[in-house]
Amino acid sequence: MLDGLDLARPELLSGQSLIDGAWTDCERVIPVINPATGRKIGDVGDCGAHDAERAVAAASRALPGWRAIAPRTRQAALLRWRELILANAEDLARILTAEQGKPLVEARGEIHYAASFLEWFAEEAKRAYGDIIPGHQPDKRLLVLREPVGVVGAITPWNFPAAMITRKVGPALAVGCTMVLKPSELTPYTALALARLAVESALIPPGVFNVVVGEAEPIGAVLTQDPRVRKFSFTGSTAVGKMLGARCMSTVKRVSLELGGNAPFIVFDDADLGQAVEGAIASKFRNTGQTCVCANRLLVQSGVYSAFAEHLAERVSELAVGDGLKGQMDQGPLINEAALRKVERHVEDARAGGASALTGGHALPGEGCFYAPTVLVDVAPDALLCREETFGPVAGLVRFETEAEAIGLANEGTAGLASYLYTRDLDRAFRVTEALRYGMVGVNTGLISTEVAPFGGVRESGLGREGARQGLDDYLDYKLMCLGLAPDPGGRSG
């Protein structure tokens, strides 16, 4: 047992990176800390640019063979990997909770969510269809082929260290690409455990999937600038995504970016308040508010403002907070001290602007990076809580009077990932959905993510979509074949 993990298969907790099918040690190491205890789980190798280049070379060598095999063979590989993930789901969930902090029940859900992407894209592997276009001239035939883009570089975040990996690796491998993945150095053990199961499947050849753990700058420089990498996928902050995307243009790579959000959660006077409160709990407080699609500002119409605030505060005050490995918890810790300080700064700013806490509003004493689940009322629309992504368990309520005012407040800023609205008026549901400048809108629900629907944003929240059939698009190139027919030697027509 290590830091309370008690794994059935301790070998899944490994600090070695995977390059060309071999487990690789590095000269330097990075400590991995449990945010619930502040104690070290262990050390992982800190790979640098040289190891990233080795991984890219391995992926480049493996590409011709992997893209040439039949889609059903790639399908079988992904399905076998999925089976192993589900067979080891409890160990994976415990590793995830230990390094990321989310409650164990949420970690279990994430492991199953991660496996769902492998199943979905395994099925889609056989459906990367092209087109036949009617010829523009009698002697021409037009065929549109879809081919794997090539080697993919990917960087994934710490808040969903399993699902954000399979959401990228699944479609890439399904269509015949190979990949070099850099997971967050804050949560590398989950990625490395998934990689061990990929190797164990014995159906994914060496070099097809590589995992390189280390500091972001040297590895990211290779993945964004090496000409052998033809597509780059990143999930993380908007500022970092802009910088990485710009670097990719030096070799004109395909780029997918899933960036920051600032999700409005709109509650109209005619909403079912019980449903709205439960939706707010699910959206705002899942993963301790550390999701890119979580409600960041709660816009509540004046007629139901007080009732909604009171009901929400009552529910939030009941949330159990603690170490996800030590019992049934609703909330875990924030990922690190920096995240805790940001939440404190946002709450202090809101209070300075006239807000008050109905519940919470303070860090919790003792070890770990815990902050009390919080409901703030009378938050000013220009508070930091409304202008920046808080990434913490703080629900800030802003009052509005009219539908037009709500839409105006919701569309302020440059983010455009997720948004939510609650109403029992079907006309309003369509009207407001169409007016919101966001890539995803949850109507009367706080949970919108699924492998069968496209996930992604507009404006400065990113490029491309993940999940669904659209999730294949960014891993495929279109190729036109314009076929000129020879004249009929017999002079026949028709």
Q: Which residues are catalytic?
A: 258, 292
Burial class (CB in 10 A: 0-12, 13-18, 19+), 443: middle
| Distance, C-alpha 458 to centroid of its chain | 15
Kindly list the strands in the beta sheet with 131-133, ordered across the sheet, starting from the edge strand earlier in the chain: 131-133, 140-148, 476-484
Q: Largest alpha-carbon pair distance within the chain? A: 91
Q: 4 near 326, Cβ under 8 Å?
A: yes
Sole residue written with tokens 């029940």: 105
Angle 206-210-216 from CA coordinates, rounded to 5°: 165
Which residues, at least 6 apart from 426, have a Cβ–Cβ distance to it below 8 Å? none
Q: What is the DSSP letter of 11?
A: G
Which residues, at least 6 apart from 33, have a Cβ–Cβ distance to it below 8 Å? 39, 40, 41, 99, 336
Which residues, at least 6 apart from 407, have a Cβ–Cβ distance to it below 8 Å? 432, 435, 436
C-alpha span between 459 and 270 (Å, rounded)? 30
Which residues, at least 6 apart from 83, have a Cβ–Cβ distance to it below 8 Å? none
Q: Which three-class secondary structure string do you get for 156-223? A: CCCCCCCHHHHHHHHHHHHHCCEEEEECCCCCHHHHHHHHHHHHHCCCCCCCCEEECCCCHHHHHHHH
C-alpha span between 165 and 63 (Å, rounded)? 19
Q: 298 near 357, Cβ under 8 Å?
A: no
* H-assigned helices in 134-176: 163-175
- Please state whether beta strands 254-258 and 462-463 pair in parallel, antiparallel, or not at all (unpaired): antiparallel
Q: At what angle do helices 104-124 and 163-175 cross, to 10 degrees?
A: 10
Structure tokens at 332: 């875990």
C-alpha span between 376 and 319 (Å, rounded)? 16
List beta partners, residue 132: 143
- Kindly list the distances between the CA atom of residue 431 and the CA atoms of 300, 305, 403, 428, 453, in Å, as whole numbers in the listed order: 17, 22, 10, 5, 22
C-alpha span between 85 and 201 (Å, rounded)? 10
C-alpha span between 419 and 439 (Å, rounded)? 8
Q: What is the DSSP string of 333-366?
A: --SSHHHHHHHHHHHHHHHHTT-EEEE--SBPSS
